[in-house]
Amino acid sequence: MEQGHHEIASAESLNTALDPICGMKISRDHAVDQVEYKGNVYYFCMKEEKDTFLKDPERYLKKADDTKETPK
């Protein structure tokens, strides 16, 4: 039974994304909007956040990369 729980958790993890504007973890199925940029799809919890992203995508992608780095 334990293994089934891990399979469900893994499937849920594969179906989630981080909104690059607010950092909120959202289900890809329930995202309000999405955009493809440089071969990647980004998901948003609000249409306004997609609009903000499109004005300066590199700014928000850099911000997301900075939060992924581990301290040394």
pLDDT at 71: 47
Instruction: Please compute the mean of the pLDDT values over residues 51-67 and round it to a whole number.
Output: 85
- What is the average per-residue pLDDT within 67-71? 50
Distance (Å, whole) CA 18 – CA 10: 16
Grouping H, G, I as helix, E, B as strand and the rest as coil, residue 37 is: strand
Q: What is the pLDDT of residues 27-45, one digit of tens each?
A: 999 999 999 999 999 999 9
Residue 62 has a pLDDT of: 84
16: its two tokens: 């989630």
**Res 5: pLDDT:** 46
Dihedral pair phi/psi, residue 38, rounded to 5°: 50, 45
Q: Which residue has the higher pLDDT, 44 or 6?
A: 44
38 torsion bin: left (phi>0), alpha (psi -120 to 50), beta (else): left
